[in-house]
Structure 1
């Protein structure tokens, strides 16, 4: 049985801070910041219309908001705001404040140092793929600092190395690289079934480093493969995926194998369109166009600018 409320719940924030603080908030784009009793920033937000957005907090009543929002409101002791010239500028300012102060109640775009770089190293006997949050892409540190798994000495004689990124999205990046490595292994070794994949590639979590032995070091196609890999990670071409679809053919007639290959191909198609190709276009917005790398601290701003440009293109 529902028990009727004897008294209507009152807006908590309006009661605590007073209605006068909300009276003169303009209906313009900007960012707002909530502070606790110690002056620490609890949350930074952006809005196309500051007045409308802040009034949603002003009117919030007990039992009618989410648990997270209720917890935030219960700790707000003051707020301030800055006007911006546009909604895009508001998002860029929000990114800046979140990166700088890492407010407790902000989650998105907070830990930019966790955005991945992918490194591909060519040795005499293998292609070595590595995931790192270090833009140097160094896979083999000094002996006194063995941060990474050591490979046999024969694999440490590098011929070439290139790093790509940074890429946002822990699960997206690792699962996409895992799909690529699985198909490349099956292609290189003519594996008829995913059951023969090495243990490292059979786990749910893609390894941070993986060496793909080269079956034929003198094979003239090796350089072509490396070129396809380079263009793949730069978002220039899907030739690598086309090559894998041609060379990884299910020969056992297994429904499981067919589904396994189709699923990995779909993951890579999506990753290319939503990440690799998109990042290639975003790099055109970089101030330093000489480097193909995107710094971890500039990625979120580039995404904002790119999305805004896309929206303006659609409108026009």
Structure 2
């Protein structure tokens, strides 16, 4: 069950301020006169006025025991009733008659089936783009208020949202499952097998959070994704080749600022001619980079390590460093 605190379902607050009492729970002279004409004793008068002000505030009839004592005292004082007049649960026929009095004054027609239809249509329209049950309930509440409907109980909306959400999600799952062939289903089933040594499954490894943004970690991440999806493998290899040299140079201070103007000087041609794969070994570590970083020149000037290399490629220059 979704917590009511996560939704916009109207309820009495834990603390009712004096301002709220004055603005929301103080009956007008016309309302007091109307209530006196509908009741014959003080206890029914108090119950009718409390329900009237509660409906105006909440949009539904709360249970008598859920009305804060502070609200009851305030209404009783405004009506000029004694402290011995308590708010108690009225008889079934009297409570039904009081609800009809309030609905007629508020110009609301009670239609349980119609109210549920409005809420259901609103939830079905939102569940295609929203999955959080609290969001679905809030959408239903918004539509019910717009249609001037008496709000149903919270459990009714919660059960409705859960049922529709499960129904739509199951249709999504079946649609996806229907597109998988036998081989794909076997691969998915294999992902749930737990290795007895590592005590981890392929699915558990797939959920690992990406680590620090280093080239080695980036390559490991690509390999992980390649193992889970063949289509991602092709895209990952192309992307890895495109960022292999640029990502390493950007991280270790071998960017364009070290090679003169972009695409122009002989040093940049050396970079293109050099074997980028030789810059570092397979685990992502780079040789000679710390020395190159220490000799970082001003912007626009070739680094000392490249000047010493002469006509050699960058990889050979790094090996000799």
TM-score of the superposition, structure 1-length normalised? Answer: 0.22
Higher strand share: 1
Please say which structure displays the higher CA radius of gyration.
2
Higher helix share: 2
TM-score of the superposition, structure 2-length normalised? Answer: 0.22
